[in-house]
Structure 1
């Protein structure tokens, strides 16, 4: 694909919101990765404003994951960064130390990633039920399935 084609594709994608078909496909990829890891999780998606698009609970997922997965998606969408990055900022000594819920359930640890097209945040994914590292891995694989490749550098930022 030429540089112009790539730019056009990115710009066009940025103007199109996530559709149910998009998040359903990403949820299927997330579940596949969770099964591969042997970790039952909850999977949540929201649009760029933090409004829920899809929620899926795998059999055996922890009860707390039912609340945490949507909260991670909301946090990533509304703060426009991965929940792991937000966690670093809210830790003691960080720029946002002591940040608490501001009109929603802020989650300052990994498992939530924004879904981007260029600079635009189209929505976000939240994964909960595994370790923070497993949740992040599952989220990244799901986003990669949507774009047909690994998420771009800074996808979770």
Structure 2
């Protein structure tokens, strides 16, 4: 079985394929050894889910980093420390408004937000590459 990946300009895996005849733009993924022309070495398990969330770092496919999701205790949402450049958005789907649109700066302390009332909230963290963006849906009764 052969695994193939297509990389974006940043080195992130754009698409994956299994048992594919070499197609322009795709690289065959190998599990060990020195990659030849048209091949790339995997530092992740050879599976579509693992490859789909990888990126090329120093010639090897490695997992893109994932930051923890915020923690909800009662109505208080505590965010982990995100990398600088992350944009955090909290949208109140019940009320139809954006409660927070916050850009994380270097050395910023963890963010704590008290959700104002019952409803459905969507919390998104758009993070700089190579981090994986995250989304959390919270329902307060």
TM-score bracket, shorter-length normalisation:
under 0.3
Structure possessing the higher radius of gyration over alpha carbons: 2
Greater share of residues in helix: 1
Greater share of residues in strand: 2
